[in-house]
Amino acid sequence: MSLNFALILFVLLVVTGIVWAFDRVSLRPQRTARMARAAAEFDAGRAQSVRAASGEAEVERQRQEAVDRAGKMPWWVEYSVSFFPVILFVFVLRSFVVEPFRIPSGSMMPTLQIGDLILVNKFSYGLRLPIVDKKVVPLGDPQRGDVVVFRYPVDPQVDYIKRVVGVPGDEVAYLNKRLTINGQEIPMKKVGEYFDPDRVSYAALYDENLKGVNHQILIDERRSPEIDPFGGYLNRDACEYSREGVRCKVPAGNYFVMGDNRDNSADSRYWGFVPDSNIVGKAFFVWMNFGDLKRIGRFH
């Protein structure tokens, strides 16, 4: 959906930009000339009789009306000229600076809630050409612990948001609901229970330290650790499945991502890796939640 909106915005930008340029080069000089002729014709024709009948103020009013009529733009030119700067600003902003997204599911709870309106930094990992999404200026790479928005590899028309767990070259294992990266178990500490409204049940709330990034995760300790994978894999042979979970070697140019709501998230454990070319940007700020204004602010 994001790609479709970007394409629509780009088409509007091109159409209004062409009209704006055509107006600057051709139509505006013609309007200026018509307005000057209208003023001259009024002064040479009706000005004297209007002045005698109604005074100088009425002369000025009628002259201005004649000039305005001569300079009136066709509706399609007027709208295009008015909206082009706005569309250009929005296009540049969402293509290269920040883009807003809405959280539609509970897969990133408790970090992000359903209905959170978030901002995504579009230049954290490099500048990409709009529409084609080709990176032209590399500025960095996703790091473990980053919350990223990306185009779902199974259906690139859909945007997903997850946390980066494994970067290229990492060996990631999620066995018996415990996360291990390159042989080191990620420390986690249970801090209580959390009501998950998405599943209308309670889950265990843990603090997790993912290579220096502290955040909270949810684990349903009653569910089996076994994972049933489904399509989308470009590197299916990089993962091994067992009754305890999954173990993967992250290929070059790809990332292993997981939701913070570990037992209620369709992520890399199920459909595979996220190619770097699919990454939209780094999520960093909740700018609105109409159900809970206290949620506004940065998150990790």
**Environment class of 110 (CB within 10 Å of its CB; exposed 0-12, middle 13-18, buried 19+):** middle
Q: How many CB atoms lie within 10 A of CB 197?
A: 10
User: For residue 152, what are the CA distances in angstroms to 15, 21, 235?
Assistant: 30, 38, 15
DSSP state of 26: I
Positive or negative CA dihedral for 281, 283, 286, 288? positive
Catalytic member of 80, 122, 124, 162: 162
User: For residue 248, what are the CA distances in angstroms to 38, 108, 152, 228?
Assistant: 77, 21, 19, 14
**CA-closest candidate to residue 271, choices 244, 236, 226, 237:** 236
User: For residue 53, what are the CA distances in angstroms to 39, 47, 49, 59?
Assistant: 19, 10, 6, 10
β-pair type (245-249, 117-121): unpaired
282 catalytic, yes or no?
no
Return the bridge partners of 256, or none: 166
Catalytic member of 95, 107, 124, 265: 107
Instruction: Return contacts of 20-23, CB within 8 angstroms, 24+ apart.
Output: 20/80, 20/81, 20/84, 23/73, 23/77, 23/80, 23/81
107 catalytic, yes or no?
yes
**CA-closest candidate to residue 163, choices 262, 234, 275, 250:** 262
Amino acid at residue number 112 = L
β-pair type (213-219, 239-242): unpaired
Catalytic positions are: 107, 162
